[in-house]
Chains A and B, each alone.
Chain A
C-alpha cells in the first residue's frame, strides 16, 4: 500500500512570494489533515477535511493560507503572500475514517520543508 505522498520536499522562497504544496493521501482515506511544524515544536493542525468538506480550519491563518481538496482526494495548501514566520515543515496526514470504531490512525507523509527568506 502506497503511503501519503507530498511534494515538493523542499522549497525556498522570498517573503511576499506565493507557494503551494500538494498532498496525495492513502487511497480510500476519507480524512485529510494539514499540520504546520515550526522548528523545535510539535506539529499544529491547520485544516482537516472529511472527503471534500472542511471539518476544522480554526487555526488556519485565512488571510494568507488557503487549502482545497477537490473531488475528496488530493489536496493543495497555498500561502500567499508568505512571511518569514511561515518557515516550517508542512505535514500532510490521512486517516481511513473519523468515525469512532473505525480506523482513526493518522498516517503522515514525509513533509515539505519551507524556508522563507
Chain B
C-alpha cells in the first residue's frame, strides 16, 4: 500500500518570502501522479499543482513549483513571494496510474501561516 508522509505539521513564513513544504512517499509502482492540495478554513480542497511521475521536468504553476526526486521518493512544494491568501493546510497526495487505483492517498498535512 502506498503511504505519504509530511513531516512538518506547521510552517510559517514572512509575507513575500519563499517557503518549502516537504513530502515523501512510498510506492512500488513506477507510474503514478503526485499532487499538492490546499485546504483553507472553508474546507474546500483546491488543487495547487500536479506532477506526472513519468515526466522528469518539475511542474510549475505561477508562484508554486515542485522539486520531484523520483529515486528519493520526495515531492516538495516551493511557494515563492508568499501572500496572505496562501495561509491554509497543505496536503501532499499520491494517486496510482491504473484503473481501479485512482484514489488519492493523502499525507497528514502542513499548516502554513503567513506572517504580515
Q: B106's contact among A42, A48, A95, by CB below 8 Å, is which?
A: A42
The smallest C-beta distance from A11 to any residue of chain B, in angstroms, reads 14
CB contact list, B59-102 vs A, under 8 A: 91, 93, 95, 97-100, 102
Q: B44's contact among A42, A106, A111, by CB below 8 Å, is which?
A: A111
Report chain B residues within 8 Å CB of A43.
45, 91, 104, 106
Contact of A40 with B102 at beta-carbon distance under 8 Å, contacts A104-B33, A110-B42, A110-B44 already known: no
A45 and B104 form a contact (CB under 8 A):
yes
Report chain A residues within 8 Å CB of B33.
104
Q: A105's contact among B42, B47, B97, B108, by CB below 8 Å, is which?
A: B47
Looking at chain B's contact residues, the main secondary structure is loop
A105 and B50 form a contact (CB under 8 A):
yes
Q: A48's contact among B42, B50, B103, B108, by CB below 8 Å, is which?
A: B103
B44 and A108 form a contact (CB under 8 A):
yes
Q: B91's contact among A42, A48, A106, A110, by CB below 8 Å, is which?
A: A42
A100 and B109 form a contact (CB under 8 A):
no
CB contact list, A21-63 vs B, under 8 A: 31, 33, 35, 40-45, 48, 55-56
A82 at the interface (CB under 8 A from B): no
The smallest C-beta distance from A95 to any residue of chain B, in angstroms, reads 7
CA distance A104 to B101 in the complex (A): 11
Please give the number of chain B residues whose Cβ is less than 8 angstroms from any Cβ of chain A in the complex: 24
Name B50's closest neighbour in chain A (CB-CB): A105
Contact of A110 with B106 at beta-carbon distance under 8 Å, contacts A98-B99, A104-B95 already known: no
CA distance A98 to B102 in the complex (A): 7
Name A46's closest neighbour in chain B (CB-CB): B103
Q: Give A residues with C-beta under 8 Å from B.
A: 31, 33, 35, 40-45, 48, 55-56, 89, 91, 93, 95, 98-100, 104-106, 108-111, 113
